[in-house]
C-alpha cells in the first residue's frame, strides 16, 4: 500500500469511529426520551422536598425559640440573664442568672473532655497504626455498642458504680457531684472521638507512613509526627463534635449531677446544667404563660447558640487545616 492510498484509509477509519460515537449518543438520547419524562423530571423535585424537611425543621425550631425567648426577655432584663450568677426561679419573682447553669454545663464538659480525649485519641492511634485487621474487627463493634447504650443507663452507672469509687478515694464527694457525671459523659463520647479520629488517620496515605518508617522513625514517632499532623483537621473536628454532644447531654447529668444551680468551681458539689434544668421543669408543673415556662425557651436558645458555635468551629477547623494529598 503506497502513501497516497494509506491517508484516505486513515480518514475512513476516523470517520467511521466518529459515526460510531454519534450513533451511541443518538441511542442514549433515544433511550432517555423513551423513558417516562414526567418521572425523570419529578425526581429532582422529590429529592429537593426531602432535603427541605431538615431545613424547614431547623427554621421552625429557631423561630419557636426566638419568639418565646423574646417574650421571656420582655419580662426579665437580658442584662440580668446574661450577667447574674444566681439562678433561683422558685424564689419570689425569681432570679434568672444563666451563668449558674452555664458554669454547671462547662464543668461537666471540661471533666468529660479531660477524661475522654486521651483515651479516645489513644484508641484511635492504636486502631489506625498498630491493630491488625482481626483486632480492629473486634474492637470497632465494641465501640459501636458503647455508643448505642441509652444515656439513662449511663446515669445509673455513674450513681451506682463511679460515685462509690470516688467516695472511697475522697470522702468529700456527695451522692451528686460534677466529677462522676463528667467522667461518665466522657465515657459516652469516647466512641465518637475514637471512631472519627481513626477515620481521619486512616485517610492519611500509606506512602507517608512508609516514608517515615523508611527514614528510621518508629511507629509511635510516625503516628505523632506524621499521621496526627496530617489528620489534624479531622481529629480536632471529632473533639469539637464530641464537646457539642457533651453540652447537649441530658439524662446523665439529670441523674448523677443533681439539681442545684451554682456558679462555683467546686466539682465535689451538686450542680445543674442547662439540659438538667429543662428536664426538671418540663417534668414538673411549669404553668403556661409564666416566667418559668418562658425561661425554658431562653435556656434552650442559649444551648442552641453554644452547640451551633461548636459546630461552626468544627467546620472551620476542617476547612482551615484540611490536607490535600
Query: For the segment 30-54, what is each residue's pLDDT rounded down to a tens digit?
Result: 665 555 567 777 888 888 888 889 8
Are 30 and 165 in the same domain?
no
pTM score of the predicted model:
0.80
Tell me whether residue 40 is in a domain. Answer: no
Cα radius of gyration rounded to whole Å, the chain: 29
Are 290 and 165 in the same domain?
yes
Tell me whether residue 228 is in a domain. Answer: yes
Are 123 and 7 in the same domain?
no
Tell me whether residue 66 is in a domain. Answer: no
pLDDT digits (tens, 9 = 90+) for 165-194: 998 888 888 888 999 999 999 999 999 999
Q: Which residues of 47-79 are buried (b: 16+ CB within 10 A; e: fewer)?
A: eeeeeeeeeeeeeeeeeebeebbeebbeebeee
The CATH number for 190's domain is 1.10.3720.10
Q: Which three cell numbers stand for residue 205?
A: 496515605
Tell me whether residue 28 is in a domain. Answer: yes
- pLDDT above 80: residue 234: yes
Mean pLDDT to the nearest integer, 150-154? 90
Are 188 and 260 in the same domain?
yes
Tell me whether residue 47 is in a domain. Answer: no
Give the rounded distance of the alpha carbon of 44 from its chain centre.
Answer: 29
Per the prediction, the chain carries an average pLDDT of 83
- Domains in the chain: how many in total? 2
Are 159 and 303 in the same domain?
yes
- Cβ atoms of residues 267 and 107 within 8 Å: yes
Are 167 and 231 in the same domain?
yes
Beta bridge partners of 233: none
What pLDDT was estimated at residue 11? 45
Are 9 and 84 in the same domain?
no
pLDDT digits (tens, 9 = 90+) for 99-141: 999 999 999 999 999 999 999 999 999 988 888 888 888 888 8
pLDDT digits (tens, 9 = 90+) for 243-267: 988 998 888 998 988 888 888 888 8
User: Which of the two residues, 87 and 26, has the higher pLDDT score?
Assistant: 87
Are 9 and 102 in the same domain?
no
For residues 281 and 293, what is the distance between their CA atoms, to the nearest angstrom? 8
For residues 162 and 321, what is the distance between their CA atoms, to the nearest angstrom? 38
Whole-number Cα distances in Å, 215 to 203, 205, 228: 21, 16, 18
Tell me whether residue 46 is in a domain. Answer: no
Are 98 and 246 in the same domain?
yes
Of 295, 299, 309, the closest CA to residue 94 belongs to: 295
Q: Give the domain extent around 172.
A: 80-320
Tell me whether residue 106 is in a domain. Answer: yes
- Cβ atoms of residues 127 and 249 within 8 Å: no
Are 85 and 13 in the same domain?
no
Are 127 and 19 in the same domain?
no
Tell me whether residue 61 is in a domain. Answer: no
For residues 251 and 169, what is the distance between their CA atoms, to the nearest angstrom? 25
Beta bridge partners of 108: none
Are 18 and 138 in the same domain?
no
Amino acid at each position: 500500500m503506497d502513501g497516497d492510498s494509506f491517508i484516505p484509509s486513515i480518514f475512513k477509519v476516523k470517520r467511521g469511529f466518529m459515526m460510531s460515537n454519534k450513533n451511541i449518543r443518538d441511542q442514549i438520547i433515544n433511550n432517555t426520551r423513551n423513558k417516562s419524562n414526567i418521572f425523570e423530571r419529578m425526581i429532582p423535585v422529590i429529592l429537593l422536598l426531602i432535603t427541605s424537611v431538615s431545613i424547614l425543621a431547623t427554621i421552625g425550631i429557631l423561630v419557636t425559640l426566638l419568639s418565646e425567648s423574646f417574650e421571656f426577655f420582655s419580662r426579665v432584663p437580658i442584662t440580668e440573664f446574661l450577667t447574674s450568677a444566681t439562678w433561683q426561679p422558685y424564689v419570689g419573682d425569681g432570679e434568672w442568672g444563666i451563668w449558674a447553669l452555664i458554669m454547671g454545663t462547662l464543668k461537666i464538659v471540661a471533666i468529660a473532655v479531660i477524661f475522654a480525649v486521651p483515651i479516645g485519641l489513644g484508641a484511635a492511634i492504636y486502631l489506625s497504626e498498630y491493630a491488625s485487621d482481626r483486632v480492629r474487627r473486634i474492637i470497632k463493634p465494641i465501640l459501636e455498642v458503647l455508643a448505642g447504650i441509652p444515656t439513662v443507663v449511663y446515669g445509673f452507672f455513674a450513681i451506682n458504680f463511679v460515685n462509690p469509687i470516688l467516695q472511697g478515694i475522697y470522702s468529700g464527694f456527695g451522692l451528686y457531684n460534677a466529677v462522676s457525671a463528667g467522667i461518665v459523659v466522657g465515657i459516652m463520647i469516647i466512641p465518637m472521638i475514637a471512631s472519627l479520629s481513626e477515620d481521619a488517620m486512616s485517610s492519611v496515605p500509606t506512602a507517608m507512613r512508609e516514608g517515615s518508617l523508611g527514614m528510621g522513625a518508629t511507629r509511635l514517632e510516625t503516628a505523632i509526627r506524621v499521621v496526627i499532623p496530617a489528620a489534624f483537621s479531622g481529629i480536632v473536628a471529632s473533639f469539637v463534635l464530641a464537646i457539642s454532644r457533651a453540652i447537649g447531654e441530658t439524662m446523665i447529668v439529670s441523674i448523677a449531677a443533681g439539681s442545684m444551680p451554682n456558679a462555683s468551681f467546686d466539682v465535689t458539689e451538686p450542680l445543674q446544667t442547662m439540659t438538667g434544668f429543662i428536664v426538671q421543669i418540663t417534668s414538673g408543673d411549669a404553668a403556661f404563660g409564666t416566667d418559668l415556662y418562658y425561661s425554658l425557651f431562653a435556656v434552650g436558645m442559649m444551648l442552641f447558640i453554644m452547640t451551633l458555635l461548636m459546630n461552626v468551629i468544627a467546620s472551620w477547623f476542617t476547612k482551615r487545616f484540611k490536607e490535600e494529598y
